[in-house]
A and B are shown apart, each in its own frame.
Chain A
Amino acid sequence: MKSRPAYRAFRVVALTVVVIALLAPLIWMVAASFKTNVDIYDTGKALVFSPTLDNYANVLEQANYVQFIGNSLWVAFAATVLSIVLGVPAAYSMSRFNMRKSALVVLMARVIPGVSLLVPWYYVFSNLKMVGGFSVLILSHMFVSLPLVVYIMMGYFDSLPIELEEAALVDGLTHIGAFRRITLPLSIPGVATAGILSFIFSWNNFMFALVLSGADTKTLPVAIFDFVGYASIDWGGLMAAASVVTLPIMLIALFVQKYVVSGLTAGATKG
């Protein structure tokens, strides 16, 4: 379908505005993370300044961010792996046996306000002396990532032709064997999508870690929040901290763009 030149020109202008509006704040954040606080206060040095790595040095060494990066990585990784181990077979059953009511129960997790679960969790886990430990953080992040995995994988299994499994049964495989040797290998792209999405959501999660993490198990979003004290804000350090948490996830999204998009839009276009 051909479009008129006037429309094409309009599209270029409009989309340029959109891209600038979306990226400029992020670029501003990263730029500020390389500025001294004097330069941040000097509005004349908006984009021309002599870059410094002091903010990163402060954040990574003094503020203990190396440890928080490790915490975030470990929690997001463990929550993702466990969600896939539990979620993929469950999604398979729910798709193949049409267990829509059970699926609805799992998907309720997307709807329930997290705060309403935090008080009971806090009570139970503090009695078990688990608050502040990694296990409770991982469990709470699974509350976000498991429904995500089930949701994405159900859509994926729905789209896989059942004939492949039937052929495998005729060839003598058991049902579980057909799942393990035929369906699962074919589902790798779906599992990758679900895994990447669940990692991103866990990495970005703030509220659960705010309540359930301890001084040694703090994840990056909580560490950034704690960076703002009651005294005046160290803007350079804060922007370095914000960049440390955002840049890796944006890089991941850049390289596996296709998976992120298909995960975010999973199930949006079918009835």
Chain B
Amino acid sequence: MAAVTTPTRSPRRASETPDTPAWARWANDHRKWLFAAPAMIFVAALIVFPLAWTGYLSLTDAEGSVRAESEFVGFQNYVEVLSDTDRFWPAVGRTAAFTVVALLFEVVLGMAIALLLWRPFRGQKWVRVAILMPLVATPVAVGMMWRLIFDPNIGLANQVLGWVGIGPQPWLAGQHSALPTTIFIDVWQWTPMVVLILLAGLTSLSDEPQEAARIDGASTWQRFRHVTLPLVMPTVIVAILLRGIDALKTFDILYATKGRGGGSFHEVETLNVYAYGLSFDYNEYGISSTVLIIFFLIIIGSMWALTSRRKEAQR
């Protein structure tokens, strides 16, 4: 390749000849920003500016059409949203419940599976392949797939329950069972992500502390609790951080399984689903921007809390 692009001179001679074009020297001196600027400008244009706009919209009464006139109303939207016990606070509760319960299962199951896969054995490769499959599957398709499996009349889930003598459950169709069922789907799809991250963490540990504890007569549980877990803790927190951000923002499977507004009783309406509905089903841009800014602050807050925990764990 190099010979094709610069056929007349070798790299060695390039620096010896002082007549390197001026633009090339300029580019070389300014490469730091020359390399970084396009991506930075893209990000600024597509993220920073729109986010600032959303912040502005949250202070206006914008609604109806994106082109309609809107008035500045100060913090009125925030007062309205924060005192809304009908839709907003239940959505906050569902977001928190969804994220905390899903994360709990994902981390505990993920750690158990990662420990089983830690030491090499025959067939390990195939288990890893199986683990990868839910992870790369398209979330909307996954939602549709579980809709069929959880169908109260023809679904596989109720059939399997029938074999062990348990009566049919409403699953996604039930007012109280819908949210737990979507949590189950999230656990099915994303536990593999936690497994992969924890496995990477476990594999990077050295064997010596394990061996030392074994020689000292520590039991398997003691070795896990007092040796492995503290060592792998930073990775556990990374897994919680990465998975937690995505779990807070879950949209695809909720919208694919329950549709607009998180179902007719808003059973699975989390903050993200609520904000999406306000924006694109009801065109309440002012209110939706307010919800989004609060949502954004919640995400940043939880991240900050976790990162400081991580720094403690590393000490």
Contacts and interface: CB of A to CB of B under 8 A. Distances in A.
A171 B24 CA distance: 18
Chain A contact residues: over half helix, strand or loop, or mixed?
A: helix
Contacts of A241: 141, 144
A194 interface: no
A20 B276 CA distance: 35
Nearest to A174: B28
Interface string B130-157: 1111111111111011111100001010
A41 B154 contact: yes
B166 interface: no
A109 B132 contact: no
A271 B116 contact: no
Contact of A25 (B36, B53, B146, B303): B146
Given A1-B207, A117-B47, A268-B239, A175 B140 contact: no
A1 B296 contact: no
Contacts of B276: 115, 207
B32 A97 contact: yes
A43 B36 contact: no
Which of A86, A87, A116, A118 has most chain B Cβ within 10 Å? A116
B101 interface: no
A63 interface: no
A35 to B, nearest CB: 11
A249 B38 contact: no
Nearest to B259: A228
A53 B57 CA distance: 50
A50 interface: no
A120 B50 CA distance: 5
Given A29-B145, A93-B36, A111-B245, 18 more contacts: A26-B145, A40-B148, A89-B39, A115-B292, A117-B46, A119-B57, A121-B46, A127-B67, A150-B39, A172-B15, A174-B14, A204-B136, A225-B255, A225-B256, A241-B144, A249-B138, A250-B133, A269-B201
Interface of B: 2, 11-16, 20, 24, 27-28, 31-36, 38-40, 42-44, 46-51, 53-54, 57, 66-67, 112-113, 116-117, 119, 121, 126-142, 144-149, 154, 156, 159, 188, 192-193, 196-197, 199-201, 204, 207, 210, 234-235, 238-239, 242, 245, 249, 251-252, 255-256, 272, 275-276, 279-280, 285, 288-289, 292-293, 295-296, 299-300, 303, 314
Interface of A: 1, 3, 8, 11, 14-15, 18-19, 21-23, 25-26, 28-29, 32, 40-41, 43, 46, 86-87, 89-90, 92-94, 96-97, 99, 102, 105-106, 108-123, 126-127, 139, 142-143, 146-147, 150, 168, 171-177, 179, 181, 200, 203-204, 206-207, 211, 220-221, 224-225, 227-228, 233, 235, 238-239, 241-243, 245-246, 249-250, 252-254, 257, 260-261, 264-265, 267-269, 271
